[in-house]
Chain A
Amino acid sequence: MNTDAITLTIDGKKIEARRGDTILEAADRAGVYVPRLCWMKDLLPAGGCRVCTVRVNGRPQAACTQPVAPGMVIENDTEELRELRRDLIDMLFVEGNHFCMFCEKSGNCELQALAYRFGITAPKYPYLFPQRGVDASHPDVMIDGNRCVLCGRCVRASRALDGKHVFGFTGRGPGKRLAVNGPNLAATDVAAPDRAVAACPTGTLLVKRVGYKVPVGRRLYDHSPIGSEIEPQTPGK
């Protein structure tokens, strides 16, 4: 037996994990889906969106940042946590301007896919209708601030994967916004192939003139919900 291996339980199921794993990584390996939004493979976790909140020995923790420890008792797929996550996703919708019906990311959008997985058909909270702009100044990349959920994936990817510092945040609290390193996007060194652009889970960062090239029926989440790739034993859940 691997000496680095430890044992913990998720929703009563015993799983093996490696020392140094986060709960989310251990769950992924065990085929247990913990919903997440600001987490992205190859990036350090930020623990920002809290969609991956689980209970660890009774205490709420972000699964993407919390390392595993022997004997942890983790609650993941409980009604209480589903409700909490549903509320978080709901709030992300109403604090932006998310019009899925004409968004080119529709069908490939992680936020939309989460909403479908959680059965959100209409928002519970009132829309805030914030005033946010479009920055289309760059010839190949654009930002539609209406759809930003402040996950910070582009911020981290630009630094860690592209070796650039194109994106950052400005403001605090309700006034927090995605910002770029310059007066507008055209003034930055962003490029269409940047990992930061592909890192966006919603339709905020877009490569221009791609649009709806993938037909309905062949998009990422057209046939199976987000998370299915982790839980192969229950396809079509």
Chain B
Amino acid sequence: MVSANTRRIVIEPVTRVEGHGKVTILLDEQNRVEQARLHIVEFRGFERFIQGRPFWELPVLVQRLCGICPVSHHLCAAKTVDGILGIDRLTPTGEKMRRLMHYGQMFQSHALHFFHLASPDLLFGFDAPVARRNVIGVIAEHPDLAVQGVMMRKFGQEIIKATAGKKVHGTGAIPGGINKNLSIEERDTLLAEMAQMLEWSRKAVAIAREYTLRNLATVSGFAAFDSNHLSIVRADGAMDLYDGNLRAINASGGKIVDQVSPLDYLSVIGEAVRPWSYMPVPFRRQPGPEAGWYRVGPLARVNACDFIDTPEAEAARKEFLGLTEGRPNNLTMAYHWARMIELLHSAEVIQRLLEDADLQGDDLVAPRGERRGEYVAMLEAPRGTLTHHYRVDENDQVTMANLIVSTTCNNEPMNRAVQAIAEQHLSGRPEITEGMLNHIEVGIRAYDPCLSCATHALGQMPLEVTLVAADGEVVDRRAR
């Protein structure tokens, strides 16, 4: 319960994340943090308004809920629709084209986040002046990194265009497969840049690793807290971002859920609702919402998998886990390092796929099997595990949709991060400094949340902080 004399600090909007969020910190009379909350105040309503639409529209329709990672929704919906059509195995060309699209998306999303959203904090420090600590500052002082970010994102977007038809909101994945293969010309254009992309990916891993090791004392005390970690993994335990079964591990690495089919996700995952946010809180049904929350995304995936099946990323993973002597890493700021390991992994997978002649095959769509009225599919989106669940009636119309998006899964961890940082940096200090508030944003940003799954906010949004007394009087306000 919030006491009568609580004061309130609001950070709105949270900048350099995808979307629009708001942070409220409730202080008690001694200026101690009573409660910290990340509000997600946008409401999309997709689950309701896709009801009645024909199911084959879903991959193209549902991806419209996001302009940042539409490919993830496009492919997850396509996988679900495959299942509805009774298709359990795609043709090699269909499967590999979709994988290429997915890893291209992962590559561009991770590059964008690291180089343009997160790098100002890492390069200049959390307390650096706002005028410097932004992407323009990165361009001015580290032009090579800024350009790398642009070029890596462009490479990923070109892969998406070659597989989906457009860089944003394409139509490539269709029920049962793909609507085009990769031409020799498209392949050669992409392969020509491959060596450079791999090299930049290696360097990005090195930057993230060196940052973490150099600032180990800081990052170890910054929103570090034990959690469960959840992701899908391949049948042999390998990292697989496109397909697999659920695995959840606890903070010390013990497997608490393993190789659970996405079809059985409801037996494992529930969703709780909080009155102050439109974003639900997913949790493991055992032990329930209080203790069953988990992290998803790069950190969870690198922690949860047994190995990565590309050599350079696997070597990087081993080095990453070396820091925690093989146990899961529970540092919020380690997300950046884990994300760059996945960037390198994505580059290696892209190279492997581009060299595979199956991409030039003509057998694009698998034959339909026995029709199902309901199906669930999962994949690992850049920000974490994504679940699409649809029911379809005998007229091919959607009757029920449930989407559990990645950022939703990280709802509780982000709140925990905000609370941990707020307790450490704000308690007992009546004065609000920009750097202190940015620490909270840095914590949220590490999770690379996509708060609306739709809007972009790149650094230039105003930040207003208001300190409100329990009686509603504004006692302090700061604006950028």
B contacts, CB < 8 Å to A: 52-54, 56-57, 59-61, 64, 164-166, 169-172, 174-175, 179-180, 395-397
Question: With A208-B54, A209-B56 in contact, do A215 and B64 touch (Cβ < 8 Å)?
Answer: no
Query: Quick one: which of B64, B164, B169, B395 contacts A137, CB cutoff 8 A?
Result: B395
* A116 sits at the interface (CB 8 A): no
Asked if A134 contacts B52 (CB within 8 A), the reply is yes
Residues of A within 8 Å of B179, CB to CB, are 212-215
Q: Give 11 pairs: A residue, B residue, CB < 8 Å, sorted on A.
A: A101-B169, A102-B57, A104-B60, A208-B54, A208-B56, A209-B396, A210-B56, A212-B59, A212-B60, A212-B171, A215-B179
Determine how close the nearest CB of chain B comes to the CB of A100; give it in whole angstroms: 11
Asked if A215 contacts B172 (CB within 8 A), the reply is yes
* A136 sits at the interface (CB 8 A): yes
Asked if B396 contacts A208 (CB within 8 A), the reply is yes
* A236 sits at the interface (CB 8 A): no
Residues of A within 8 Å of B57, CB to CB, are 102, 104, 211
* A49 sits at the interface (CB 8 A): no
Asked if A102 contacts B396 (CB within 8 A), the reply is no
Asked if B397 contacts A215 (CB within 8 A), the reply is no
Query: Quick one: which of B52, B56, B165 contacts A211, CB cutoff 8 A?
Result: B56
* A216 sits at the interface (CB 8 A): yes
A contacts, CB < 8 Å to B: 101-102, 104, 134, 136-137, 142, 206, 208-218
Residues of A within 8 Å of B164, CB to CB, are 216
Asked if A102 contacts B61 (CB within 8 A), the reply is yes
Asked if A213 contacts B174 (CB within 8 A), the reply is yes
Residues of A within 8 Å of B397, CB to CB, are 134, 136
* Assembled-state Cα–Cα distance A178/B59 (Å): 28
Residues of B within 8 Å of A214, CB to CB, are 179
Query: Quick one: which of A134, A142, A212 contacts B174, CB cutoff 8 A?
Result: A212
Question: Binding site of A, secondary structure by majority: helix, strand, loop or mixed?
Answer: loop
- Which residue, of A104, A142, A208, A212, has the highest number of chain B Cβ atoms within 10 A? A212
Asked if A216 contacts B395 (CB within 8 A), the reply is no
Asked if A216 contacts B171 (CB within 8 A), the reply is yes
Asked if A101 contacts B64 (CB within 8 A), the reply is yes
* Assembled-state Cα–Cα distance A142/B394 (Å): 13
* Assembled-state Cα–Cα distance A101/B166 (Å): 12
- Which residue, of B164, B170, B174, has the highest number of chain A Cβ atoms within 10 A? B174
Determine how close the nearest CB of chain A comes to the CB of B470; give it in whole angstroms: 43
* Assembled-state Cα–Cα distance A136/B52 (Å): 9
Question: With A102-B60, A134-B397, A209-B396 in contact, do A216 and B166 touch (Cβ < 8 Å)?
Answer: yes
Asked if A215 contacts B396 (CB within 8 A), the reply is no
* Assembled-state Cα–Cα distance A215/B174 (Å): 10
Residues of B within 8 Å of A216, CB to CB, are 164-166, 170-171
Residues of B within 8 Å of A208, CB to CB, are 54, 56, 396
* Assembled-state Cα–Cα distance A213/B179 (Å): 5
* Assembled-state Cα–Cα distance A215/B60 (Å): 12
Q: Which residue of B lies closest to A137 (CB)?
A: B395
Residues of B within 8 Å of A210, CB to CB, are 56
Residues of B within 8 Å of A206, CB to CB, are 54
Asked if A136 contacts B54 (CB within 8 A), the reply is yes
Residues of B within 8 Å of A142, CB to CB, are 54, 396
* Assembled-state Cα–Cα distance A209/B397 (Å): 11
Asked if A215 contacts B180 (CB within 8 A), the reply is yes
Asked if B175 contacts A209 (CB within 8 A), the reply is yes
Residues of A within 8 Å of B172, CB to CB, are 215
- Which residue, of B52, B56, B171, B172, has the highest number of chain A Cβ atoms within 10 A? B171
Determine how close the nearest CB of chain B comes to the CB of A140; give it in whole angstroms: 10
Q: Which residue of A lies closest to B55 (CB)?
A: A209
Question: With A102-B61, A137-B395 in contact, do A211 and B169 touch (Cβ < 8 Å)?
Answer: no
Residues of A within 8 Å of B175, CB to CB, are 209, 211
Residues of A within 8 Å of B53, CB to CB, are 134
Query: Quick one: which of B52, B64, B180 contacts A102, CB cutoff 8 A?
Result: B64
Determine how close the nearest CB of chain A comes to the CB of B460; give it in whole angstroms: 25
Q: Which residue of A lies closest to B179 (CB)?
A: A215
* Assembled-state Cα–Cα distance A208/B85 (Å): 13
Residues of A within 8 Å of B170, CB to CB, are 216
- Contacts A209-B175, A211-B56 known; 10 new A-B pairs at CB < 8 A: A102-B61, A102-B64, A104-B56, A104-B57, A134-B52, A212-B174, A213-B179, A215-B171, A216-B166, A216-B171
Residues of A within 8 Å of B396, CB to CB, are 136, 142, 208-209
Determine how close the nearest CB of chain B comes to the CB of A106; give it in whole angstroms: 8
* Assembled-state Cα–Cα distance A101/B54 (Å): 15
Determine how close the nearest CB of chain A comes to the CB of B362; give it in whole angstroms: 13
7 nearest CB pairs, A to B: A216-B165, A212-B171, A102-B61, A211-B56, A136-B395, A215-B180, A215-B179
Residues of B within 8 Å of A136, CB to CB, are 54, 395-397
Residues of A within 8 Å of B64, CB to CB, are 101-102
* Assembled-state Cα–Cα distance A215/B397 (Å): 23
Residues of B within 8 Å of A209, CB to CB, are 56, 175, 396
Determine how close the nearest CB of chain A comes to the CB of B133; give it in whole angstroms: 36
Asked if A211 contacts B395 (CB within 8 A), the reply is no
Asked if B61 contacts A211 (CB within 8 A), the reply is no
Query: Quick one: which of A104, A137, A215 contacts B165, CB cutoff 8 A?
Result: A215
- Which residue, of A104, A210, A215, A218, has the highest number of chain B Cβ atoms within 10 A? A215
